[in-house]
Structure 1
Amino acid sequence: MNSIAAQSMFQQFEEADYLCRRVLDALLREDVQNLVSHSHWFSAESVPFRRQLPGKLKKCQWLAARHLSGGCLWLAVKPGSFMQSWVLHDLPVCWESAGRYQWLDDLENILGLFYQALNGEARQRFEAFAEECKVAVEHSIICRQEKQRYFNACQMQSYTGSAPIWLQHLLHYERLAAFLDHPFYPTARAKLGFDADDLAAYSPEFQNAFRLNWLAVPKAICRRHGNIATTGILPDFSDLGLDPSHADSHELLPVHPFMWGERLHTLLRDHGLLNRVLLAPKTALEVVPTLSVRTVQLCNQPRVHLKLPLAIRTLGGMNIRTIKPSTIEDGHTVQTLLGKIIQDEPKLRGLVLLTDESRGLTAAESASFGYIVRQYPNAIEHGTTVAVAGLLAETPKRNLVVEQLVEFYFDDDKDFLEAYLDITLRLHLTLWLRYGIALESNQQNSLLVVQQEEPRLRLLLKDNDAPRIYPAMLATSRPDLAEALERLVDRRILAENELALAQMFTTITLQLNITSLLEGLAATGKRRRDTFYRQLHAKITEVLDDLEGEGVNTRSARDYLLESEWHYLKLLLTAATLQGKHNTGAADVNKYYGKTAPNRLRQL
């Protein structure tokens, strides 16, 4: 065997082993098939196969899942404190059946134990997840190789080129973020629908530029939002090889090149549009992919992004990346609402920035035909912009992105966290407790704009089309703003009680955007984990005290955040992959919750 083949086999094993551990932790965290709640616990000394135990498994606890069909699955586990009570201690696992013991460390065989007795849709979903795991391993290997190539290139040269420094930083940190895995969803590396060539051509890990294809669609079936002409994104019909006379009757629609060809033909046929649209023979508008894959950045206008439908699935088999016709309207309504609130809040004004997402187009009332124009504020040209999703990403210098930000812009990590926690918690606790609003401003949708001058850190929010809003609370605090809720198309945005706000705040703001970061910082070993959580506890208390001093009722939030034994967590693997909505009852696969996350703030 040559060295290249040996290296490939090692990478395959390494990525598969990494993924196996992530998947087992997710199964434990989400209590899939009652893996935790219906199991029994044993010490290493009391398991029936104690004499066969590998040395690394002789001093841990064992979970025995006897309720699985055909035998008992034994997992070596240890207590966890972040997001789950139990985590995998180490591989292999042990399968006991008919008095025999089999040691397993490959994910395919382990997953098979969970669905071997299932039938119908339930089995199909597990089998689909097993395939998703294979794609995740494949994509992980490809992206790891590209990461190493990019890091080597960065070591060989400093930032060069004609692009302004702010843009070079933006692209660099966006790419680093793409190399980092999602904190919780185990197979987030898989972009279901992409093969290896697609990954290289269209993924943010590679950041290759490409040109967009175009359709001309009859105006009669299109709906414009805002003044698209002012964006400068639309080419002339003649530039696309189309007769200019069609401009009177048709709208131009950008199409991601991944969708061009057979995929587009199928969509047009299914919508009865094959003979109604014109396919432009030429391409136009050079773009690069962003962290969300389906959103692309214009090369000649880097503060302008286009969000395009893309028939791939990420973060779960049910999370297809199309664009609902309601998205533009609801996103603009929510952004307008936020803009007014921020301007009226002295402690938020000037520290929270918003993208403009008021312009776009939808066609044929379909989630497969349309686009959204996202305009970033001028402020990003005067600082370094980093997605929260990329703060824990590794840099070519082998430190973390957040450590680089601290080095260049702050005194130390405590100084950085003071600024970050203050604006993040002040914004989201104010929105929740005063206005009845919780944003789905996850790691990709929350960005930091940092600079040497004051304010050194500002929060930039985008893509706020799927919040939860409790109308009764907003009507009490700002009846003038509550009128805007009548314009919302997706009525799932409207919550029936305050619980939905607490759930979204916890799973998005607290867990994804804050405590995941604290865990990553603690893993560097520079400060003890408890010191980070004490800083978080103190900041939550400070913000709640400030709001209470302004007449806001904070009692329930204080009790839940700081005193309750358990916090909510998102059951994304369950809802987005392993079970259908008819089983979970979830109106949205991204908003299905359990309440089994240990509250570390209470433990302090």
Structure 2
Amino acid sequence: MSTTASAAPATATAQATTVTHADTTEAELLLRVLGALLREDVVGLRTRTTAVDHGDGRWLRLPADDGDALLLPVVEDGYQSVYAARLPLLTRESDGRELTTHDEVLDALGALADPADRGGFDAFAEECRQTLATMRLHADTADEVAATLATGTLASGTLASQRGADPADWTGLAGGLAYDTLAARLDHPVYPTARGRSGLDEDQLRGYAPEFHPSFPLRWIAVPHQDLTVAGGPAALPAAWPTPAALGLPELDRTHLALPVHPLTVGAPLREALSAAGLADRAVLAERPYLDVVPTLSMRTVAVTDDPTLHIKVPMATATLGLRNRRIIRPGFLADGVAGQRLLETVIAREPRFQGVILHADETVHAHAGHELLAALCRRYPAGLDHAVVTPLAALLAEAPGGRLLIDHLADRFYGGDPIALLDAYLRLLLDWQTTLFGYGIALESHQQNISLVLDHGPTGDTRMRLLLKDDDSPRVNAARVRATLGADAPLGFDDPRILCDDDRPLTDMFTTITLHLCAGSYAFGLARHGRAEAGTLLDLVRDRLAEAVERLGTGPGEPGATLRAQVLDAPQLPVKAMVSAGTLLSKERSGAADINKHYTTGPNYLLRTRGSL
């Protein structure tokens, strides 16, 4: 971005100071969209703009090829971006026209993009339209869903758990499903259209999306034994798994096995998958549904109503967090999840302080028929959590029934009413664990959805905090250091070649974008935004806890702690996910992203703040 000019064009500023928006939902969405496009430097919003100051604040001026310019009003931010949008608009410099809808904004920016990329802007506009409709639906149903959660019933009327009015009393894995519902109604810290679900209408959202806490029966297909791969063999499948006879297909009992299918996949997506797998004439879709389930935060993973310790992950023909981020399950993902679990178990066995403190769901049982829409993962959670609060990290800043944040309710029960004390305890554990893994050569893609906070009172009555992990199928692993620390027989049998690497840069990128930004920094900025403490105080807490964890690794020459200090704590800039660009705006050929979830730009290092700033 070039140097600051003295004044913004009067036409733009005069109109911007009087802008009003009757539709606040669209304004909220547009602010997040503009912030994401600025952070990712879409069409040069960061690098091709000139900062201009006026009485109402700072603007960024982006020149257009026709001699005109677009003006974006900004405010200092600091969380992954120097600036954030402060008004939900772009303004044309020539005539002062305000662009206040996502269609207008994306049309204007798309006109400045390479012609090869303009289709991506159209796709993102559709993604915004879907998200806007979903946000409005969330607002219209907020009271209805809050009442559902507080009474402990599913949308179908089936008793979900003995819950009360205080969310801090929603215990066990059944209570965790209610926290998933709260999280599903909260915006993602980075991705602006996370609440949108590609191609689903209102009835489908109400019937199958976690934000409505519905229950529904799974559909099933019977697949010939020889065409279905089951890890551990059919005997490893859960007791709840139906036989073909239970599905109304007794004639197939000896020759076929059942494979679950999400109801939204039934129809054309399933027919196409069966045809592609060569099973169109041999697999049979059962007319009889079986096994009532409740969607979790990931939607494609569902919990069994009668046994919420059993979750079943099934692929879906939809997308979230970008139109290219499809909710499918490739067979290799299943094998990589097992390898990731085994690797973590090996580390925990060597680190006594994490035993019984870092918990992991068992994901070793799965089945597939050789196609990304014909697969299932059986996730079994540890026993003994019935009296504990089990909430995904993604729910902590969500609004609970009654209007308070969930973290405030949990702080009341477990930390004397102090949410910052809860945050401090969580940061100590999280950063100790994740830096320890880094020392072994491992970085996890364990974001807010894949880690749950487990809170209860231990044998002495004191508050006990644990972390519950799942879905570790996409780590980054420095193979040489893992073998040096765990031995030549370390479990490194990953299917995806992108997982194993020969240096630390992929690990520090993942550590920064997932553990630091999403699982630590987002809570510092989020709690400050909600007025729980000053941003500077909270960022000091994050830096201090990370610095302590890094010191435990050792910071001498060549030691892992030195790498984290140089590339995270003291780095002038930090990697930032470019999720919109890689997920929707640009093709893989255009973005160069080998993995759309690990495509980066750069942003400020908020850990470098001077005491008293922010």
In the superposition, the TM-score normalised over structure 1's length comes to: 0.91
Distance 1:104 1:369 in 2: 44
Q: Secondary structure at the match of 1:20?
A: helix
Q: Secondary structure at the match of 2:29?
A: helix
CA distance 1:345–1:120, change in 2 (3 Å): same
Aligned to 1:52: none
Deviation string for 1:524-566 (max 9, x for gaps)? Answer: 2232111111122221122222222999541121122222221
For structure 1, the residue ranges without an aligned partner over 5 or more in a row are 1-9, 45-57
| 8 Å contact kept, 1:565–1:602 | no
| 8 Å contact kept, 2:452–2:469 | yes
Distance 1:35 1:392 in 2: 30
Match of 2:206 among 200, 207, 226: 200
Match of 1:456 among 453, 457, 464: 464
Letter in 2 for 1:129: F
Match of 2:78 among 81, 105, 112: 81
Aligned to 2:140: 145
CA distance 1:104–1:273, change in 2 (3 Å): same
Deviation at 1:220, TM superposition (A): 1.8
CA distance 1:162–1:554, change in 2 (3 Å): closer
Aligned to 1:19: 29
Report % sequence identity: 34
Aligned to 1:287: 293
Larger relative helix fraction:
1
CA distance 1:91–1:373, change in 2 (3 Å): closer
Distance 1:306 1:69 in 2: 54
For structure 2, the residue ranges without an aligned partner over 5 or more in a row are 1-19, 163-170
Deviation at 1:161, TM superposition (A): 4.9
CA distance 1:124–1:138, change in 2 (3 Å): same
Distance 1:273 1:143 in 2: 39
Distance 1:392 1:408 in 2: 16
Aligned to 2:248: 241
Deviation at 1:118, TM superposition (A): 4.9
Deviation at 1:348, TM superposition (A): 1.6
Q: Secondary structure at the match of 2:346?
A: helix
Deviation at 1:82, TM superposition (A): 1.2
CA distance 1:408–1:240, change in 2 (3 Å): same
| 8 Å contact kept, 1:442–1:508 | yes
Aligned to 1:63: 60
Match of 1:136 among 131, 134, 144: 131
Match of 1:43 among 19, 36, 53: 53
Match of 1:400 among 398, 401, 405: 405
| 8 Å contact kept, 1:561–1:601 | no
Q: Secondary structure at the match of 1:311?
A: coil
Match of 1:33 among 37, 43, 58: 43
Letter in 1 for 2:37: L
CA distance 1:68–1:493, change in 2 (3 Å): farther
Q: Secondary structure at the match of 1:236?
A: coil
Distance 1:559 1:549 in 2: 10
Distance 1:553 1:138 in 2: 47
Deviation string for 1:243-290 (max 9, x for gaps)? Answer: 24x232222111111111233223223433221211212111110111
CA distance 1:420–1:284, change in 2 (3 Å): same
Is 316-325 or 69-78 further displaced after alignment? 69-78
Q: Secondary structure at the match of 1:140?
A: helix
CA distance 1:579–1:295, change in 2 (3 Å): same
Aligned to 1:380: 385
Match of 1:418 among 413, 424, 439: 424
Deviation at 1:357, TM superposition (A): 0.2
Is 549-558 or 167-176 further displaced after alignment? 549-558
CA distance 1:601–1:169, change in 2 (3 Å): farther
Distance 1:480 1:146 in 2: 55
Deviation at 1:167, TM superposition (A): 4.3
Give yes or no for the alignment of 1:541 onto 2:551: no
Distance 2:142 2:21 in 1: 14
Deviation at 1:474, TM superposition (A): 0.8
Deviation string for 1:496-529 (max 9, x for gaps)? Answer: 3100000000000111111111111112223211
Distance 2:336 2:45 in 1: 39
Is 570-579 or 224-233 further displaced after alignment? 224-233
Aligned to 2:69: 72
Q: Secondary structure at the match of 1:456?
A: strand
CA distance 1:157–1:500, change in 2 (3 Å): closer
Deviation at 1:31, TM superposition (A): 0.7
| 8 Å contact kept, 1:228–1:360 | no
Give yes or no for the alignment of 1:468 onto 2:463: no
CA RMSD across the alignment? 2.3
Aligned residue runs from structure 1 range 9-408, under 5 A: 13-44=23-54, 58-67=55-64, 71-96=68-93, 99-116=94-111, 118=113, 121-152=116-147, 161=159, 163=161, 165-230=171-236, 231-244=238-251, 246-363=252-369, 365-408=370-413
Letter in 2 for 1:89: R
Aligned to 1:597: 604
Q: Secondary structure at the match of 1:382?
A: coil
CA distance 1:157–1:225, change in 2 (3 Å): closer
Deviation at 1:206, TM superposition (A): 0.9
Q: Secondary structure at the match of 1:380?
A: coil
Deviation string for 1:26-80 (max 9, x for gaps)? Answer: 0111111111101112112xxxxxxxxxxxxx42111110045562101111222
Distance 2:331 2:311 in 1: 18
| 8 Å contact kept, 1:61–1:76 | yes
In the superposition, the TM-score normalised over structure 2's length comes to: 0.89
Aligned to 2:446: 441
CA distance 1:597–1:574, change in 2 (3 Å): farther
Deviation string for 1:338-383 (max 9, x for gaps)? Answer: 01211211222221000000001010x2111010000011132230
CA distance 1:518–1:119, change in 2 (3 Å): closer
| 8 Å contact kept, 1:383–1:450 | yes
Match of 2:521 among 512, 515, 520: 515
Letter in 1 for 2:563: S
